[in-house]
Amino acid sequence: MSEAHPVDTRLPFARQLAFGIQHVLIMYTGCITVPLVFGAAAGLDRATIALLISADLLVAGIITLVQSLGVGKLAGARLPIVCGATFVGLNPMILIAEEYGLDAVYGSMLIGGVVGVALAWPFARVVRFFPPLVTGTVLTVVGVSLIGVAGGLIIGTDPKSASFASPSAIGLAAVVVLIAVGFVCLGRGVWSQLGVLIALIVGIVIALPMGLITTAGVGTADWIGIPQPFHFGSPQFPVTAVVAMSIVMAVVFAESTASMLAISEITGKPLSRGDLARGLVGDGLSGVLGGVFTAFVDTIFNQNVGAVSTTRVFSRYVTAVSGAILVVLGLVPRIGEVVAVIPEPVVGGVGLVLFATVAVVGVTTLLKADLTDRVNATVAATAIGIGLLPVFTKGMFDKFPTSAQILLDSGVTLGAATAFLLNLVFNHTRLGTLARSTTTTPPPTPLPTTPKPAVATT
């Protein structure tokens, strides 16, 4: 009888629990940042943001369990994977909320998830059309475009407010950033991995005497409860919003594919096309569940991929424990209520680090492409430029139909579409061969040389 692969090996319960808790701590800050940022940008009250946090943790836990343990031959990569809310969908969701309302945000997410489930197997066959050139470009655009959102949390969004751009708020955010950088760069082992979470906690402690935390109303939520399906009413399905969230799903697929391939390489567990497709079905399910329970689309957290590599603990049952912990946290509304009181400058400081990290991950991914090739470099440059246009040129598409603005004002959709199409044209058609053939020039003809006369010897 052959010995089980380390991925499929169960550890003693105490070790599984300890490593499972560590995985949760590593991803927790990034996971809750998405509902905190979205809730603030959408102008939601604290109680509603608390509901989003609980739903976010619940769905993240369910999808982590699906990816770790699998659901028959239907879903789950059966790898040590921890999932959480992706930043890729943040900007499109904010734009959809502003234009159509929250019922359209979650209706379009639901349909985007259904599209994802339907396209998971075909996508596994055409993943070659989403190389690092495309995914790296999109992640770079995502990270850079969200920095402005973090800035809005730090200084506020109303220039007429007395607290707008308060030096104390900016100083608090700066301290949070410095603490995060200090722990991540100077810390060792788990202290480095938990650097952002530590910065968040210290920021909360500092904000208390500053009067930035209001605890009125905290403690009214139930200890145990299930997020209410369709909390914002019957879902709506505007076509452009559905298209935008479907593009988000495609980007998440590409990102998750890279993460699954990395996990496969780290653990030595081969990743078949079926495993990849079932892993992508898990991503699609996160969109379906997110749309129903007002949560968010999930992706594989690269921080946890790094933790697997660092600890060399490959068991998928460890991450299954992490999923179970997240489910429990999601079923305790009081936790979401407490997290929702975190002041915006603290969230903005943490968000600044996390969003910039996404951009750096994008740049790192781009380095895997051959950017010495002028065609690839031009594809990346053009897609990044177009993707960031609506970010730096506010109002650029205001005279376009309102339905089109959801797509055009989103750097994610513009950058993803541009990168995908240009890569398709120049790396998968004869135009790419033609373009590259024009870059070569014949070498100069060497001058003829006269042979030296033989030297006589005596």
Residues 6+ apart with CB under 8 A from 7: 78, 79, 80, 267, 269, 314, 315, 316
Residue 456 pLDDT level (bands cut at 50, 70, 90): very low
Measured in residues, the chain has a length of 458
369 pLDDT more than 50 = yes
Q: Where is pLDDT greater, at 2 or 420?
A: 420
Average pLDDT score, the chain: 85
pLDDT in tens, 4-57: 888 888 988 888 998 888 788 778 878 888 898 899 888 898 889 889 989 999
Looking at 222-226, 318-322, 384-388, 442-446, which range is the least confident one? 442-446
Would you place residue 457 in the very low, low, confident or very high pLDDT band (cuts 50, 70, 90)? Answer: very low
DSSP string, 249-281: HHHHHHHHHHHHHHHHHHHT----HHHHHHHHH
Average pLDDT over residues 221-235: 83
Position 445 pLDDT exceeds 70: no
CB 73 within 8 A of CB 278: yes
| Stretch 150-179: mean pLDDT | 85
Sorted by sequence, the CB contacts under 8 Å of residue 26 that are 6+ apart come out as 82, 193, 194, 197, 301, 303, 304, 307
Region 368-373: what's the mean pLDDT?
89
Number of H helices, E strands in the chain: 18, 2
How far apart CA 24 and CA 31 sit, in angstroms, is 10
Q: Which of 383, 378, 381 shows the shortest CA–CA distance to 419? A: 383
Per-residue pLDDT tens digits for 42-67: 889 888 988 998 999 999 999 999 99
Least confident of 124-133, 183-192, 214-223, 292-301: 214-223
pLDDT band at 326 (very low <50, low <70, confident <90, very high): very high
φ/ψ of residue 71, rounded to 5? -125, 85
What does the pLDDT read at residue 442? 52
- Mean pLDDT score, 183-204: 82
- What average pLDDT does the segment 213-238 reach? 78
Quote the pLDDT of residue 217.
Answer: 59
**Interatomic CA distance for residues 256 and 249, integer angstroms:** 10
Q: Is the pLDDT of residue 156 over 60?
A: yes
Q: How many other CB atoms are found less than 10 A from the CB of residue 42? A: 18
281-311 pLDDT tens trace: 999 999 999 999 999 999 988 778 777 876 7
CA separation for the pair 370, 358 (Å, rounded): 21
Which of 156-165, 428-437, 448-457 shows the lowest mean pLDDT across its residues? Answer: 448-457
More confidently predicted of 113 and 195: 113
pLDDT digits (tens, 9 = 90+) for 115-132: 999 999 998 888 888 888
pLDDT-above-90 percentage for the chain = 33
- The pLDDT, as a whole number, for residue 455 is 47
Using pLDDT thresholds of 50, 70 and 90, give the confidence band for residue 161. Answer: confident
pLDDT(447) > 70: no
Q: What is the mean pLDDT of residues 101-108?
A: 95
Q: How far apart are the first and last CA of the chain?
A: 82
Q: How confident is the model at residue 218 (pLDDT cuts 50, 70, 90)?
A: low
Residue 308's pLDDT is 80
CA of residue 135 relative to chain centroid, distance: 12
The arithmetic mean of pLDDT across residues 228-238, rounded, is: 91
User: What percentage of residues in the chain have a pLDDT greater than 70?
Assistant: 92
Is 50 exceeded by the pLDDT of residue 366?
yes
What is the model's pLDDT at position 189? 74
Least reliable range by pLDDT among 106-120, 193-207, 213-227, 319-333:
213-227
